[in-house]
Amino acid sequence: MSSTAGNWFEGRRFMVTGGSGFLGRFIVDGLAARGAAEVFVPRSREYDLRDPGAIERALEAARPDIVIHAAAVVGGIGANQEHPGQFFYENAIMGIQMIEAARRRGIEKMVVVGTVCAYPKFTPTPFSEDDLWNGYPEETNAPYGLAKKMLLVQQQAYRQEYGTSGIFLLPANLYGPGDNFDPASSHVIPALIRKMVLAQEAGDAEVPVWGTGSASREFLYARDAAEGILLAAERYDDPDPVNLGTGDEITIRDLAETIRRTVGFEGELAWDASKPDGQPKRRLDTSRAEERFGFRAATSFEDGLRETVDWYRANRPV
């Protein structure tokens, strides 16, 4: 880290919503490593960010210069299908109210973490930020993706009318140590790791896997995502949204095989084509992040996956 970066972080106070969550913990660790003057993490049991009064109390307690809004209600395809209304309302209302409260308080910069789910279902790959509005998102996660995308509109509108400094980032699918391994709400990587570790220990002959395996995804190690967010917080101040990713993609079938090898599970994969595949393809154009604030993902997928499997084995409930 350069002295310039250190000086910028050392002189500022931060509030990180979702700072005790999966991505948020990496952001908070990154701020500490950079010597941030003070980092405040509003816990949901004390500050319900759906409540504007709670947001005001959090901002009063933190008195931040920079707000990084990483709080979100998230889940895999099944959770999105089961709770589309909740995912839309809670993600929209938390962000809308946070951005408005930050505007009223004259916060120096608002950093909003969006989602790759905001992209249209049939976006040409690699996904360019310029294609963000060229269609409707994939149906299974459209309410979540659109709720997050409205925060981009709000940031741009506020910049235009009030002159506020707000940026919007679009990370690829995240994974890494500390991920959510709950079978009811986890994303594909932790879900498959859990299934295969448990199947290996039980001596099962096969593991069920949703869909056909033909869809592709891009995965970003959570620590790399946090690095991109902090680089953007320091160096970027334009209205244009920016992708955070690796620029690489893998089919779900190849992903499942890679996880099987990493775990050491020797059984079969039983594909259930009655379950949805989700968006057909996801791969991001990552050139804007590199050009505008110097971000490139540093962790290879093999290394990140191995660390994630090792973390789950060491930390899962017995």
Residue 75's identity, in one-letter code, is G
Q: Is 144 a catalytic residue?
A: yes
Residue 40 — φ and ψ, nearest 5°?
-110, 130
Distance CA 52, CA 93 (A): 9
- Direct distance between the N- and C-terminal alpha carbons of the chain, in angstroms, rounded to an integer: 39
Dist CA 94 CA 68 (whole Å) = 13
Paired with 60 in beta bridges are none
User: How distant, in Å, are the alpha carbons of 115, 233, 276, 281 from that of 138?
Assistant: 13, 29, 11, 10
Nearest alpha carbon to residue 140 among 117, 164, 166: 117
Of the residues 47, 119, 136, 144, only one is catalytic, namely 144
| Catalytic residue list | 144
